[in-house]
Amino acid sequence: MKYPGKWTSVRMEPVETRQRLESVFTQGGDWEKNRGRDQSRRFAESFHQHVHIPWSSLSVLDVGCALGDALPVWQNKYPGAELYGCDVAETAVRRCQESYAGMARFFRASFEELRGFWDVIYCSNTLEHFEQYLEIAEVLLIRCKVLFLLTPFGELRDGSPLKPDGEYYHVATFYRDSFDALIRQDKASRIETSIMGCPGAWGPTRVQKIRWLVASALKNHCIFQEPLQILYAIHNKAWSTPDFLLEEGRR
């Protein structure tokens, strides 16, 4: 999908005017027009189908929480968890507080401004927007016991891995070994991965799918494939933590 604007890997924030960034999350803005709220919920639901956290109590921070729509899914799964959300956009944080103040605490922060410590940091479909995704993951990992990352898996553009392009938001392609450098750098003790689908979150609309399926049947071959996601559980070496990912699809 094409979007206006570029992303930087220097300050790890979008290279856009603050007005543009804030407008994305206004009522009826681009986030809602492009089904961002539904995507956040669907990604979280798929995530919890592949993860089990055995701790009786835990604190969770959703980084890049947008309008906070993943947090009700977390609360339903772990009703005793202390939930937090942060985003770089003040408009997003304000709207989160209006919608979910009784469920979670929200604050504005960029990656490098983040302070505090949580048992779990959850970062869903955010790092594909950043060229320096590995450095961002390192920044997040020191703030938690386990870092859960969810990104598109093996995403290509014209048959090649993604790279920065002024026309597109996604600038990085992710595989199972994309964060293994954190182990080599002695930051992480191990990384679990799982390849999974997330029906309805990415890709074409329902009407487009029907049209493509009809065209496939007429041509006797398949021309549509639901995009895949990769889930990472990155374990902070400073802490002793159990495995979190369920067996199916785990490395």
What CATH architecture is 6-200+229-236?
3-Layer(aba) Sandwich (3.40)
Place of tokens 């450098």: 181
Residue 14 is predicted with a pLDDT of 44
Say if residues 107 and 93 touch (Cβ distance below 8 Å): yes
User: DSSP character for 127?
Assistant: G
Strands 188-197 and 228-236: antiparallel
Residue 24 is predicted with a pLDDT of 93
Residue 209 is predicted with a pLDDT of 60
Residue 208 is predicted with a pLDDT of 52
Residue 80 has phi, psi (to 5 degrees) of: -95, 0
Q: pLDDT tens-digit profile of 132-176? A: 999 999 999 999 999 999 999 999 888 999 888 777 778 999 999
The two three-digit tokens of residue 13, written as one number: 């924030």
Residue 169 is predicted with a pLDDT of 79
Q: Where are the alpha helices (DSSP H) in 50-174?
A: 71-77, 90-100, 133-141
Task: Find the helix or strand (DSSP H, E) in which 85 lies.
Answer: strand 82-87
HSE-CB for 112 with a 13 A CA cutoff: 8
Written as one letter, the residue type at 131 is: E
CA 46 to chain centre: 12
Evaluated on CA atoms 64, 70, 75, 77, the torsion sign reads negative
User: DSSP character for 167?
Assistant: T
Place of tokens 């995403």: 155
What does pLDDT average to in each consecutive run of 10 residues of the chain (251 residues)? 32 54 92 95 96 96 98 98 97 98 96 96 95 96 98 91 81 96 98 90 60 66 72 98 81 50
Strands 156-157 and 160-161: antiparallel
Residue 97 is predicted with a pLDDT of 98
Residue 8 is predicted with a pLDDT of 37
Residue boundaries of the structural domains of the chain: 6-200+229-236
Say if residues 144 and 59 touch (Cβ distance below 8 Å): no
Say if residues 223 and 213 touch (Cβ distance below 8 Å): no
